[in-house]
Structure 1
């Protein structure tokens, strides 16, 4: 009798453990059916990502949504400051990120990128009434505003001694734009399509000067060595959207022909 009872307990334990192992509807790193991937975004970055009337819009939002539909996987967006996205990925709080993120050697140490999906490039921006600054060579003794965690911030830090300017950092683009508009900073560094869109849409008291300072490309990121199946789906979906013309429709919706 005791032997039968022990067998019954063992069988119940096996069933319990099996049940505990079948819930994969959420959680980072899963590739099974029913997984809902958590996608990091930064909604202070129009035309790529912004929030309006409680809904997310922009090139990145529409593009990732179209890729997910094309490849048949589920996801949910998680908005946060840009500088916190990669740390959140490292902590297992995000599975993937699409946030106007430039593909750099430094970031490649901790994330794997998709194929490039947009050609960007950093540009120098000043107050529209400023005729003294026409290039980075004119920044000596000036103050340059940057957004934390961006390639613009890295460029500024790498070249501060060379060009002799001071740096002030911000967590979001609108605050950075305002700092130059109101004269508290002399210039800012921002990705060209972002600042060109902002100036056109919001009538900012800013203007772009000089040539683009680099040839940045944006990529979709997953934590290094993880979610490779998802990355393959992202690349496949991105290529299909390019081939079908849907990619161009998404970009032109926000940037025009």
Structure 2
């Protein structure tokens, strides 16, 4: 009886392990469709075009990746702070939104290799004497909620190699452009946001605003994918590498980023 019970239990355990292995294998696969979350408030990486559709460098990148994978791409626009939650609930399987790879975000999602390196910048009124991030100590600073600018202005580190630079009186916005509007109206002292979007916002308000670039450390934009999906991560990395190698990356960068300067 004991021998029979032992054999039976061993069979159940083996079947359980086999089932678990199959489940993990099924989870780690390239999805049939790329359901992409973005926040189209971050030009030139993502924005709404004249046809009210998400556009920009990031959108062009993920569409090119989907094309090379022979997969359909569906882009969903949402608040930046909602992106990771949407992935955790399986509403999306991909995020491309000028998202910096951080230790905290890696607890919830996996990241591809970097496709762009950025820095932080400060948007100020023309007559401001502020020249670096540390001078924002105690100032009213606008940020887009959940972004690296939010992390920095809140007195936190966004990477192991980065240090705490400043602790400000943070005001959070759903859109970077709303923070810029409040700066123009005198409600806040500065806006901290990534360099390229900052250039876009200042260019559109050149008579009233100026830009100061003061790096808190290099930031690496990556594509976020569902946690644990190794097969998909490897395929994304493969396509990023190919896009860079054959010159397509440079063409997209020239069209969307370099032309915006």
**TM-score normalised by length of structure 1:** 0.81
- Structure 1 equivalent of residue 216 of structure 2: 213
- Structure 2 equivalent of residue 126 of structure 1: 124
- Indicate the SS of the match to 1:231: helix
Contact 1:197 1:255 in 2 (8 A): no
Aligned-partner Cα distance in 2 for 1:32–1:222: 10
- Structure 2 equivalent of residue 251 of structure 1: 253
Verify: 1:36 aligned to 2:36, yes or no. Answer: no
Q: Measured at CA, do residues 134 and 99 of structure 1 come closer, stay the same or move farther in structure 2, by a change above 3 Å?
A: same
Q: CA deviation at 1:218?
A: 0.1
- Structure 1 equivalent of residue 113 of structure 2: 115
Contact 2:133 2:214 in 1 (8 A): no
Verify: 1:189 aligned to 2:192, yes or no. Answer: yes
- 1:178-197 Cα deviation digits (max 9, x unpaired): 11122110011101111113
Aligned-partner Cα distance in 1 for 2:30–2:142: 44
Q: Measured at CA, do residues 158 and 253 of structure 1 come closer, stay the same or move farther in structure 2, by a change above 3 Å?
A: same
Q: CA deviation at 1:165?
A: 2.9
- Indicate the SS of the match to 1:153: helix
Contact 2:154 2:168 in 1 (8 A): no
Contact 1:181 1:204 in 2 (8 A): no
- Indicate the SS of the match to 1:158: coil
Q: CA deviation at 1:129?
A: 2.6
Q: CA deviation at 1:234?
A: 1.2
- Structure 2 equivalent of residue 92 of structure 1: 90
Aligned-partner Cα distance in 2 for 1:164–1:220: 29
Aligned-partner Cα distance in 2 for 1:201–1:243: 34
Contact 2:28 2:232 in 1 (8 A): no
Structure 1 unaligned blocks of 5 or more:
1-28
Aligned-partner Cα distance in 1 for 2:41–2:106: 24
Structure 2 unaligned blocks of 5 or more:
1-26, 158-163
Aligned-partner Cα distance in 1 for 2:167–2:251: 43
**Paired residues, what number?**
226
Aligned-partner Cα distance in 2 for 1:41–1:239: 22
Aligned-partner Cα distance in 1 for 2:121–2:42: 15
Aligned-partner Cα distance in 2 for 1:212–1:66: 30
- Structure 2 equivalent of residue 21 of structure 1: none
Q: CA deviation at 1:57?
A: 1.2
Q: CA deviation at 1:73?
A: 1.7
Q: Measured at CA, do residues 85 and 199 of structure 1 come closer, stay the same or move farther in structure 2, by a change above 3 Å?
A: same
RMSD across aligned C-alpha pairs, in angstroms?
A: 2.2
